[in-house]
Amino acid sequence: MRTEIAGPGHSSRAQRTFTLTGRLLDALHIDGPLLLSVLAVCVVGLIVLYSAAGEDVRIFLGQAARVGLGLGVLTIVAQIPPRVMRIGAPFLYGLGLLLLIAVAVAGDVAMGAQRWLDLGFIRFQPSEIMKIAVPLCCAWYLHERPLPPDFTTLVIVALIVLVPTLLIAEQPDLGTALLVTAGGGLVILLAGLQLRYILGLGAVIAAAIPVVWKFLLHDYQRQRVLTFLNPQNDPLGAGYHTIQSQIAIGSGGIFGKGFMNGSQAQLEFLPERSTDFIFAVIGEEWGLVGCIVLMALYLLVIGRGLYIATQAQDTFTRLTAGSLTLLFSVYAFVNSGMVAGLLPVVGVPLPLVSYGGTSLVTLMAGFGILMAVHSRRKLVST
Amino acid sequence: MTRNSRLKDHHAEQRLFGRRVVAATLVIMVLLGALFARLFYLQVVRHDYFSELSQGNRIRIEPIPPPRGLLLDREGEPLALNRPAYQLELTREQTPDVEDTLARLVALGLLPADDVARTRRAIMARRAFDAVPVRLQLSEEELARFAVHRPDFPGVEIRPRLTRLYPHGGVGVHALGYVAAISEQDQERIDVSKYAGTTLIGKLGIERNYEELLHGETGYQQLLVNAQGRRVDRVGVTAPDLQRKEPIAGNDLYLTIDHRLQQVAETALGTQRAAVVAIDPRNGDVLAFVSTPTFDPNGFARGLTVPEYRALADNIDKPLIDRALRGVYPPGSTIKPFVALAALQYGVMAAEDTRYCRGVWQFPNSSRRFRDWKKQGHGTVDMHKAIAQSCDTYFYGVSDQIGIDRLHDFLVQFGLNEKTGIDILGERTGLVPSQAWKKKAFKKKELQVWFPGETVIAGIGQGYMLTTPLQLAHSTATLAMHGKRFQPRLVRAVRDSRTGAVASLPPRPLPDVKVDDPGYWDTIIGGMIGVVSPGGTAVRVQAGAPYKVAGKTGTAQVFSIGQNEKYNESQVSERLRDHALFIAFAPVDDPKIAIAVVVENGRHGGSTAGPIARAVFDAYLLPREAAPAAPPATPPAAPPAGGMDE
């Protein structure tokens, strides 16, 4: 009896809190479900990172601060009306292109690749901007045109994608180039690229592979592909990452070795365990169950993103939201596929989990765009 | 699909977009399915395989070398100990480039350049996963220097190990032998797996002969290591049950050596090239086993550099040679008591039979003169006087009467011409000549003929006859025991490291020397007492001693003198001078110690070798407090020392 009396009291208070939070989120143009699922991935990431970084509190706090910074960026981006984004898209793209050229001319060389631009007070990678600017610009260009796109449109969009891609690939940064291409390509696919173009493109790519292999790829990139095909060829060199990450994942089993108990990670057998190969730490310490949980959380983010895209009310927002969401899934799949030995090793971090700020902030900005799209859909429709 | 004037159809576009999203979702599902399948394959299907790989990744089995057994003298004084030291070890498997690593160690001053080749061979001879010592006994400064550069040297580590310490340096080194780093050749005589982790191995002497008892059993432990192969102790990682098997220490050996005696003898010898062997005649225990000059065995345990080794090996005094065991010297007059015994046994001469000594001895109808060391001669000589004054002419005649083959047969009973069987390697047999031996030893027919003159000089221990100091001491002990023989030994008991029980090794008797009349022994010993009595050749060995000594002096010719030349010792360069010999035992009535002293180029047995024997006797037989620290000073009335033979 008492519970019945207490029940409504509680629920009403809870409901009030819920409504209040809802209103606050609405006012901030934040989408609750998307925010929650993104935060869930971030929390998982921080937990895994704590173990992967060898209980280094400094690294853990640094990454937590970056998550906070990312959330700030997300909130700010969410305030921008999609219309402004659309108008700004070509300018952002132009700025990104200029910066890429600047990097090519005067960038910092770090770890053998010219990716960084030092502005005196901050060093950043202009290629990160392109991960968002390219989809935005493609969506902007396709916005006014009838869909599915005709050939001329396709050529122009292809140029919008390929110019920065080549600049980035020259740095060389294969992973980012791949993601930028994917971002633009996804826009085109979502815009309704006809099946015959898809098949034709497939044929062209197949034909281009030998050319790319021979003339465009750097030695180390070729090595990565070869190693992917047979890691045992070079177990202590190029194949070391793949072999060790598979040992880590495989030895984790169904339930894993337990938090901070992965010998591969803790005893430093696993290289780049807090950055690109952090997925192997999850596999080792949390097992198949942990991997499934992470994949489920990713699916929640992707599902919500796609839902937002389908609810979007004009071509620009639809294409933007859809491509950014799918880009996120490419991110996740490429990284986990590479760590699990399904794909060659490319420098793509595990989204929202890998240690490092740049990709996190870019992803958060992307989610901010999604939220901006979602919270203003009614305004657009009227 | 309309042409140019297409207008945007928002609803159619939205439917198209919807279809594309559905398609994308399907693709994502397929990719996720592939990823899941891959994870399932890795984590479920092949889980065991990868688990094993990850175990192999982090567990290394490391051997724990056993502490080597100690060497203690007969009173328990430690002669060889273990001492912790840091050494630099290289594991080939974990070293990316051995050649480069060695070169950089040389550059750091941690490895002498001369040692690179030897070190490389040692590394290649061991198994790839064995840690091979590169440098033993690092100094504090070297430790620090390496520590700074450690990250540049994967596969190279500093490990605390036990190393050998010989607290008394070179004292007794030729008996103890020494240990040194396991070399390529050593690999062939050991079970490599039993020596995993062991750095040092016995190379010589007792250390070598008793290697199996001293080494012990290697233990092992499983270690948690990181990717660099370095040991880690991380609380975070639940260690599997890391196994550990403790090593079993080697057994301690109680030697027969009396360290105090050993030291007295070495001190008495000073810088001379010499050998002293003292034996307890009652059981064959070797109480002192001296070969000088000595060398410091600690250098070998530490690892000699090439120049250091060369300095030792090329030293003109040959400190590395074990003179007591491997030095062969003509016994000179020390053979006379044995020849006299042979004369009694074969009945060619009775104790009281006399000969007249006029300073030279000749075969009938021969002009060749065999000289006595005393030019003017000894006059009428019986057996006692012949031994006491070492009359050469008496023994020329006696041995001529015995004949070389009978002399040979008699002398070999004392263990001459064969190894005594002492428990260290490298012993030499010496030589007691016979006609049969000469036939075999020479190729040319004309050289195979035995000449009567060769028999004559054999009677005073010259010519072909050769003995080691050890053989001399052993034969003297046999004399003292009236023919009872024991194999000389250096180890008298073994202390089991597990139980702590000390097991005494029983003395090993050898076939006795039998003579027809036990009185013969007394005759001979009587003569030897005469040697140290007034009128004898070594009177000061007995002078003032509270125990009774029997001895015999000897001088071994190094430089042969022409038939009519006069031997002038001041003109002969030092290294061509005669060797001085002395054998003795004491107390006569209850022999406790028998000794042989050989001083190379020492000239006179009585004056050079005798006092050394006396010093050892004093140290052993006098109550410990009363023993004089130094050999007795030269007595005022030293008997005149003779020429070529006393």
B622 CB-near residues (< 8 Å, 6+ apart)? B546, B628
* Domain presence at residue B113: no
Whether the CB-CB separation of B582 and B551 falls below 8 Å is answered with yes
**Interface size, chain A vs chain B, as Cβ–Cβ contacts under 8 Å:** 146
Q: Which two tokens stand for residue B524?
A: 């001979």
DSSP three-state, residue B477: helix
Distance between A326 CA and the closest CA of chain B, angstroms: 8
Whether the CB-CB separation of A278 and A41 falls below 8 Å is answered with no
The residue type at A326: L
DSSP B564-576: T----GGGS-GGG
Determine which of A236-245, B83-92, B196-205 has the lowest per-residue pLDDT on average. A236-245
Interface of A with B in 64-83 (CB under 8 A): none
CA-CA-CA-CA torsion sign (B532, B536, B540, B546): positive
Question: Which among B403, B410, B378 has a CA at the least distance from the CA of B393?
Answer: B378
pLDDT at B565 over 70: no
Catalytic member of B333, B399, B497, B533: B333
Band (pLDDT 50/70/90 cuts) for residue A307 is very high
Question: Which among A284, A294, A292, A351 has a CA at the least distance from the CA of A324?
Answer: A351
User: Which CA distances in Å does B322 have to B272, B273, B416, B427?
Assistant: 14, 11, 18, 9
Q: Which two tokens stand for residue A50?
A: 């704590």
Whether the CB-CB separation of B199 and B65 falls below 8 Å is answered with yes
Distance between B150 CA and the closest CA of chain A, angstroms: 18
pLDDT above 70: percentage of residues in chain B: 91
Which residues of chain A lie closer than 8 angstroms to B13, CB-CB? 147, 192, 315
Average pLDDT value for residue range B79-93: 88
Name the phi and psi angles at B359, rounded to 5: 100, -20
The DSSP H or E segment spanning B131 is strand B131-135
User: Which CA distances in Å does B574 have to A349, B318, B562, B580, B607?
Assistant: 86, 16, 19, 13, 17
Residues in chain B: 646
Question: Which among B250, B253, B264 has a CA at the least distance from the CA of B172?
Answer: B264
Please tell me which residue, B273 or A217, carries the higher pLDDT value: B273
Residue corresponding to tokens 């000589």: B381
* Domain presence at residue B409: yes
Q: What is the pLDDT of residues B401-440, one digit of tens each?
A: 999 999 999 999 999 999 999 999 999 999 999 999 999 9
Whether the upstream peptide bond of residue B293 has omega within 30° of 0, thus cis, is: yes
- Host domain of residue B581: 322-482+518-621
Q: What angle do CA B409, B522, B588 make, to 5 degrees?
A: 110
Interface of A with B in 288-327 (CB under 8 A): 288, 291-292, 295, 299, 302, 306, 309-310, 315, 318-319, 322, 326
B246 CB-near residues (< 8 Å, 6+ apart)? B64, B219
Band (pLDDT 50/70/90 cuts) for residue B631 is very low
Could you say which of A190, A264, A291 has the minimum Cβ distance to residue B54?
A: A264
Q: How far apart are CA B219 and CA B64, in angstroms?
A: 5
Q: Which two tokens stand for residue B57?
A: 């990744």
DSSP A263-285: HHHHTT-STTTTTTTHHHHHHHH
Residue in chain B nearest A306 by alpha carbon: B21
* Domain presence at residue B469: yes
| E strand intervals along B410-558 | 485-486, 491-495, 502-504, 509-510, 550-556
Q: How far apart are CA A146 and CA A148, in angstroms?
A: 6
Name the phi and psi angles at A12, rounded to 5: -70, -40
The residue type at B367: S
Strand partners, B156: B90
Band (pLDDT 50/70/90 cuts) for residue B239 is low
Distance between A152 CA and the closest CA of chain B, angstroms: 12
Band (pLDDT 50/70/90 cuts) for residue B69 is very high
User: Residue B375 is part of a domain; what is its CATH number?
Assistant: 3.40.710.10
DSSP three-state, residue B364: coil
Band (pLDDT 50/70/90 cuts) for residue B571 is low
Mean pLDDT of chain B: 86
Helix A278-311 × helix A240-252 angle, to 10°: 80
Residue corresponding to tokens 């991960």: A131
Please tell me the predicted confidence (pLDDT) of residue B221.
81
Q: What is the pLDDT of residues B572-609, one digit of tens each?
A: 577 778 889 999 999 999 999 999 999 998 877 778 88
Interface of B with A in 194-253 (CB under 8 A): 224-228, 232, 234, 236-238
- Helix, strand, coil: what percent of chain A each, to 5? 75, 5, 25
Please tell me the predicted confidence (pLDDT) of residue A318.
92
Q: What is the pLDDT of residues A135-178, one digit of tens each?
A: 999 999 998 888 788 888 989 999 999 999 998 888 777 788 88
Which residues of chain A lie closer than 8 angstroms to B54, CB-CB? 247-248, 250-251, 263-264, 269
Burial track B306-335 (b if 16+ CB lie within 10 A, e otherwise): eeeeeebeeeeebbbbbbbbbbbbbbbbbb
- What does the CA dihedral B286, B288, B291, B295 come to, rounded to 10 degrees? 110
* Domain presence at residue B308: no
Q: In terms of C-beta density within 10 A (0-12 exposed, 13-18 middle, 19 or more buried), how is residue A339 classed?
A: buried
* Domain presence at residue B130: no
Band (pLDDT 50/70/90 cuts) for residue B79 is very high
- What does the CA dihedral A55, A57, A58, A63 come to, rounded to 10 degrees? 90
Please tell me the predicted confidence (pLDDT) of residue B22.
93
Segments in B242-294 forming alpha helices (H) = 259-269
A235 CB-near residues (< 8 Å, 6+ apart)? A243
The residue type at A232: Q
B573 tagged catalytic? no
Choose from A145, A152, A259, A263 for mutation: most chain B CBs within 10 A: A263
How distant is the alpha carbon of residue B151 from its chain centre? 41
Q: What is the pLDDT of residues B587-596, one digit of tens each?
A: 999 999 999 9
B238: Cα within 13 Å, side-chain hemisphere: 8
Strand order in the sheet with B274-280: B285-292, B274-280, B593-599, B579-586, B550-556
Q: How far apart are CA B428 and CA B231, in angstroms?
A: 50
Interface of A with B in 332-371 (CB under 8 A): 333, 336-337, 340-342
Q: How far apart are CA A287 and CA A294, in angstroms?
A: 11
Domain boundaries, chain A: 33-79+218-382, 83-217
Name the phi and psi angles at B332, rounded to 5: 60, -145
Band (pLDDT 50/70/90 cuts) for residue A269 is confident
Which residues of chain B lie closer than 8 angstroms to A266, CB-CB? 234, 236-237
DSSP three-state, residue B126: coil
Please tell me the predicted confidence (pLDDT) of residue B237.
53
Provide the domain count of chain B: 1
Could you say which of B38, B43, B227 has the minimum Cβ distance to residue A342?
A: B38
CA-CA-CA-CA torsion sign (A28, A34, A35, A36): positive
Interface of B with A in 15-74 (CB under 8 A): 16-18, 20-21, 24-25, 28, 31-32, 34-36, 38-40, 42-44, 46-47, 49-51, 53-55, 57-58
**How many CB atoms within 10 Å of residue B485?**
22
Please tell me the predicted confidence (pLDDT) of residue A272.
86
Residues in chain A: 382
Please tell me the predicted confidence (pLDDT) of residue B634.
39
* Domain presence at residue B73: no
Q: What is the pLDDT of residues B125-168, one digit of tens each?
A: 777 777 888 888 888 888 888 888 888 888 888 888 888 999 99
Q: Which two tokens stand for residue A349?
A: 């971090």
**How many CB atoms within 10 Å of residue A199?**
10
Q: Are B13 and A254 in contact (CB < 8 Å)?
A: no
Please tell me which residue, A378 or B387, carries the higher pLDDT value: B387
Q: What is the pLDDT of residues B161-215, one digit of tens each?
A: 888 999 999 999 999 999 998 887 888 888 777 888 888 899 999 999 999 999 9
| E strand intervals along chain A | 108-110, 113-118, 123-124
Q: Are A261 and B237 in contact (CB < 8 Å)?
A: yes
Band (pLDDT 50/70/90 cuts) for residue B568 is low
Question: Which among B615, B604, B589 has a CA at the least distance from the CA of B645?
Answer: B604
Q: Which two tokens stand for residue B561?
A: 């003198």
Enter the DSSP assignment of A382. Answer: -
